Amino acid sequence: MNRDKNLTDTKNFSSSRRRFLELNLGAALAAGTGLSPVFSASAAEVKLTDNGRILVVLELSGGNDGLNTVVPYTQDEYYLARPTIGIQPDAVLKLSDDYGLHPNLLGWERLYKDGKMAIVHGCGYPNPNRSHFEAMKFWHTGVPNAPESRGWVGRLADTVIPREASGIVMNIAKEQSQAVSSTYHPPVVFSNPAAYRLDNAESQASAFDSIMSNRSRSARSNLDFVRRVTSTAADSSEFVRRTCANYRTNSDYGYGTVGTSLRNIAALIEARADARFYYTNFSGFDTHVSQAPNQAGLFNQVGDAVLAFQADLKTMGREDDVVMLVFTEFGRRVQENASLGTDHGVAGPMYIFGNQVKGGFHGEHPSLSVLDQGDLIMTTDFRSVYGSMIQEWMDVQDVGSVLGGDFARLSLIG
């Protein structure tokens, strides 16, 4: 139920697929292993220990260039390092006497000036890794340079609601992110709500009946359980499809996948879905070549989408219930490259949006004159930002129980 590869819009359920179900599900039941009860209980049936707040995480995949996002437009070092791709002062959307936004982030500028956007300078971690795979793993788990299978969002969900409950974590993406890997809360994962469905239900029912006719009473009892789980899964997929299809809004989410994803999250929040955690991603930020036009197009999309999402939260009366965290796996190097792009770097800003955030700049901007092999030197451990989301927003006081350690506190929530 929780992966696109298990839920499809394919109409035909082949005999080989039916046989696979009979053999594998039947063997599991006969062995007494059963299945993980992803939909074992609804949130209404579980005594929730959380405060009802919702955390939305948006991942900018590829390594967004922070220096052309939050532009240090008064610093000569910036323009010396970026004579071609640097954002000129007269184009910057000025937020302060020192820093401003990329000119295509008009939606973010409005949110910042409304006090609904916080920017945390210089986020990274010790002993950084410039590999997309390794860096993303560290950000997903919240445990750099150490083995960990569960994600930080998944561990947070386990702490907030320490038993199985359906639909607490939703991952709007083509593939599940490690960030939402959890002990108690297997995430609901989908990218296209219209295609989010169980395979042909009648064919599955036939396969179940075939298994039941050849199993003991105890196995039949287990199978009854599986059928109930499947029925609940079907109901859940129908809820997602119907909710997203029927959502109406006057906000303009723009074009592209990030707008669609945030619109679907808004639809589920308005429908009072049980989810406390929504995770989605927007890719394309690995700008080694021709960064200026590529990043500008991406910022058009994400700027409009985040503004529309915040507007919808206000319209539906949920703006005090939701905070959005935006991050990328690493920043870019200070110097532009020969292809009019930038290469993998280290530190970069993180962004928090919502009516409850303490808007403005937080932390210290890295020096542009004192670098580490051409890279910005981090000034804020990204886990301090995670810690604020955990403690200040989700009201989990023991941050170490989620992150495995204690980190400097940031006051990001009002």
pLDDT for 28 equals: 37
Q: Please give the C-alpha separations between residue 101 and each of 65, 68, 110, 303, 328, in angstroms, as whole numbers.
A: 12, 8, 11, 11, 16
pLDDT grade, residue 289 (50/70/90)?
very high
d(CA 176, CA 189): 6
Higher per-residue pLDDT: 248 or 409: 248
Residues 44-72: tens digit of each pLDDT: 444 444 578 999 999 999 999 999 999 99
- What secondary structure letter does DSSP report for 87? P
Hey, is 147 helix, strand or coil?
Answer: coil
Radius of gyration for the alpha carbons in the chain, expressed in angstroms and rounded: 23
Ramachandran sector of residue 72 (left: φ over 0; alpha: ψ -120 to 50; beta: rest): beta
Sheet containing 70-71: give its strands across: 70-71, 100-101, 93-94
**SS3 label, residue 94:** strand
Phi, psi (degrees; rounded to nearest 5) at 142 = 75, 15
At 323 the three-state DSSP class reads strand
The predicted structure's pLDDT at residue 42: 42
CB–CB of 108/307 below 8 Å? yes
* Phi–psi pair at 327, nearest 5 degrees: -145, 170
pLDDT tens column, 341-361: 999 999 999 999 999 999 999
Cα(184)–Cα(181) distance, integer angstroms: 9
Q: How far apart are CA 402 and CA 393, in angstroms?
A: 14
Can you state the angle between helices 291-315 and 106-113, rounded to 10 degrees?
Answer: 50
Q: Is residue 170 very low, low, confident or very high in pLDDT (cuts 50, 70, 90)?
A: very high
What local confidence, expressed as pLDDT, does residue 9 receive? 36
- Residue-level pLDDT at 164: 86
Q: What pLDDT is stored for residue 144 in this prediction?
A: 86
Is 241 a residue whose pLDDT tops 80? Answer: yes
Query: Which region, left, alpha or beta, applies to residue 165 given φ > 0 means left and ψ of -120 to 50 means alpha?
Result: beta
pLDDT score at 404 = 92
Predicted TM-score (pTM) of the model is 0.84
Which ranges of 287-348 would DSSP assign to H, the alpha helix?
Answer: 291-315
In this prediction, residue 51 carries a pLDDT of 73
Structure-token match 């298994």, residue found: 211
Domains of the chain, earliest start first: 53-403 (3.40.720)
pLDDT at 376 over 50: yes
Distance CA 185, CA 208 (A): 26
What does pLDDT average to over the chain? 86
pLDDT at 145: 80
- With contact defined as beta carbons under 8 Å apart, do 157 and 182 qualify? yes
CA distance 93 to 217: 69
Q: How far apart are CA 138 and CA 159, in angstroms?
A: 20
